[in-house]
């Protein structure tokens, strides 16, 4: 078991991308349903005033550091966090490995047509990949039994939900035991990027930990959410001070 680092009362796994993929592989081999969460600074901040989200994240089998802010926080607290494990990149690594493992995916969420485009992209990038179903993220409570039935019938090994934080984590956690899918991951905007609907930051910006800035420039509607970043830094400073005092 890898070390876990408590950041704002959420336990985040100190893992490399390779180790994260190994952990997901173990979960699939075990077969029991588990949640995998990709925690960036925004999600961690949200969990400080959303008790349900906090409880769900701490019940997850694997919580990776999806964001430079999460990596910084761990290191600022004097703990080991080897690298950022971005949710998008984790999905690509799993899809790359899937054909050799015969893993099956179900893509649930995003706008109508986006999951289908993401499926087509995955089939082009990873020949032999099995994507056994797609469903957009526009639904009401009345639609849920049909969605659950569709996923159960498809029997995927990995369910990717792109419903936005915290809806995706809450939905997956609420239905995990009924669905009996081994790996359940909230993937945010992953389908949009795969479908070509949203661009990802250039590699130099990713390496410079500026992907958040690129998203804000591309989607000005996100700018308000960036206010969470300085608040996150202040809260981590306070956590460090409280621990050391």
Residues of the chain with pLDDT below 50 are none
Looking at residue 215, its pLDDT comes to 62
Looking at residue 197, its pLDDT comes to 76
Looking at residue 143, its pLDDT comes to 97
Residue 245 lies in a domain: no
Q: What is the CA radius of gyration of the chain?
A: 17
Q: What is the distance, to the nearest Å, from the Cα of residue 125 to the centroid of all Cα atoms in its chain?
A: 21
Residue 94 lies in a domain: yes
Looking at residue 206, its pLDDT comes to 67
Task: Let me know: does 201 contact 214? Beta carbons within 8 Å.
Answer: yes
Cα distance between residue 100 and residue 22, in whole Å = 14
Residue 244 lies in a domain: no
Residue 243 lies in a domain: no
Residue 81 lies in a domain: yes
Looking at residue 96, its pLDDT comes to 98
Number of domains making up the chain: 1
For the chain, the farthest-separated pair of C-alpha atoms sits apart, in whole angstroms, at 55
Looking at residue 222, its pLDDT comes to 58
Taking residue 177's Cβ as centre, other Cβ atoms within 10 Å add up to: 9
User: In the chain, at which residue ranges do the beta strands (DSSP E only) sit?
Assistant: 4-7, 10-13, 34-39, 62-65, 104-109, 130-135, 158-162, 183-186
8, 27, 40, 162 from 154: Cα distances, Å: 37, 19, 30, 18
Looking at residue 72, its pLDDT comes to 93
Please name every residue paired with 134 in a beta bridge, in sequence order, or none if there are none: 107
Looking at residue 149, its pLDDT comes to 98
Residue 117 lies in a domain: yes
Looking at residue 1, its pLDDT comes to 58
Looking at residue 237, its pLDDT comes to 86
Cα distance between residue 87 and residue 194, in whole Å = 12
Angle of CA points 141, 145, 148, to nearest 5°: 115
Looking at residue 218, its pLDDT comes to 63
- To the nearest 10°, report the CA torsion of 205, 81, 48, 177: 100
Domain containing 157 equals 4-238
Q: Residue 134 has what DSSP assignment?
A: E
Q: Peptide bond preceding 166: is omega within 30 degrees of 0, i.e. cis?
A: yes
81, 90, 114, 120 from 117: Cα distances, Å: 34, 19, 5, 5
């Amino acid at each position: 078991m890898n070390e876990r680092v408590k950041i704002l009362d959420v336990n985040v796994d100190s893992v490399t991308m390779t180790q994260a993929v190994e952990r997901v592989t173990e979960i699939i081999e075990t077969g029991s349903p588990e949640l995998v969460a990709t925690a960036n600074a925004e999600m961690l901040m949200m969990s400080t005033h959303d008790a349900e989200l906090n409880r769900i994240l701490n019940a997850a089998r694997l919580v990776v550091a999806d964001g430079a802010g999460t990596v910084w926080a761990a290191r600022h607290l004097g703990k080991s966090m080897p690298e950022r494990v971005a949710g998008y990149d984790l999905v690509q690594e799993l899809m790359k490995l899937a054909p050799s493992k015969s893993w099956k995916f179900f893509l649930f969420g995003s706008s109508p047509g986006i999951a289908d485009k993401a499926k087509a992209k995955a089939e082009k990038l990873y020949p032999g990949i099995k994507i056994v179903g797609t469903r957009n993220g526009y639904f009401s409570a009345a639609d849920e039994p049909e969605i659950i039935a569709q996923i159960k019938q498809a029997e995927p090994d990995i369910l990717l939900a792109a419903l936005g934080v915290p809806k995706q984590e809450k939905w997956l956690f609420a239905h995990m035991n009924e669905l009996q899918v081994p790996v359940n991951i909230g993937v945010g905007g992953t389908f949009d990027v795969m479908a070509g609907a949203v661009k990802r930051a250039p590699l130099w910006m990713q390496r410079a930990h500026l992907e958040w800035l690129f998203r804000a420039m591309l989607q000005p509607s996100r700018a308000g959410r960036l206010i969470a970043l300085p608040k996150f830094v202040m809260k981590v400073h306070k956590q460090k001070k409280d621990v050391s005092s």
